[in-house]
């Protein structure tokens, strides 16, 4: 069982008051920073695709952010640079290494919570 030291304290944050919000074509990212961690809630509208929406902002060939995602709503197709692909939907968890493209599948927005790779997502470098 993990134990807390006297210097550690309970912390709280909420997506109702995000630390930062970034918008991009057909999408939005809300960031919540708590302690040393950054959580991201991304909403990708129907028709969103990383390579046409975010690539022009970050200017990399593919998404170079690693992700650990909890998929809340909608469906998201992820295709790795090597051609491996998988579709994810509500209730699923995905681990996605750098080097991929992604897009919303169908006519419902895809919504995810990311706990690892959103701090610099869709941010001009």
Q: Which domains does the chain have, with CATH numbers?
A: 20-81+89-114 (2.60.120.10)
Distance between CA 76 and CA 102 in Å, rounded?
7
| Mean pLDDT taken over the chain | 93
Q: Where are the alpha helices (DSSP H) in 14-54?
A: 50-53
What integer pLDDT is reported at residue 123 of this predicted model? 82
Sign of the Cα pseudo-torsion (89, 13, 37, 57, in order): positive
- Report the predicted TM-score, pTM, of the whole model to 2 decimal places: 0.89
Residues in the chain: 125
Q: E-assigned strands of the chain?
A: 20-24, 27-34, 37-44, 67-73, 75-80, 85-88, 93-96, 100-105, 110-114
pLDDT, tens digit, 9 for 90 and up, residues 67-100: 999 999 999 999 999 999 999 999 999 999 999 9
- Mean pLDDT within 94-110: 98
Helices marked H in the chain — which ranges? 50-53, 55-58
């Amino acid at each position: 069982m993990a134990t807390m030291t006297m210097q550690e304290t309970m912390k709280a944050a909420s997506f109702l008051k995000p630390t930062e919000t970034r918008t991009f074509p057909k999408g939005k990212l809300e960031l919540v920073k708590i302690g040393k961690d950054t959580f991201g809630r991304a909403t990708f509208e129907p028709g969103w695709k990383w390579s046409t929406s975010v690539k022009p902002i970050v200017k990399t060939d593919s998404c170079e952010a690693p992700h650990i995602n909890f998929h809340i709503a909608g469906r998201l197709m992820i295709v790795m640079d090597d051609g491996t692909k998988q579709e994810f939907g509500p209730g699923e968890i995905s681990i996605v290494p750098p080097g991929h493209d992604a897009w919303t599948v169908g006519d419902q927005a895809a919504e995810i919570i990311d706990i690892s790779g959103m701090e610099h997502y869709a941010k001009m470098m």
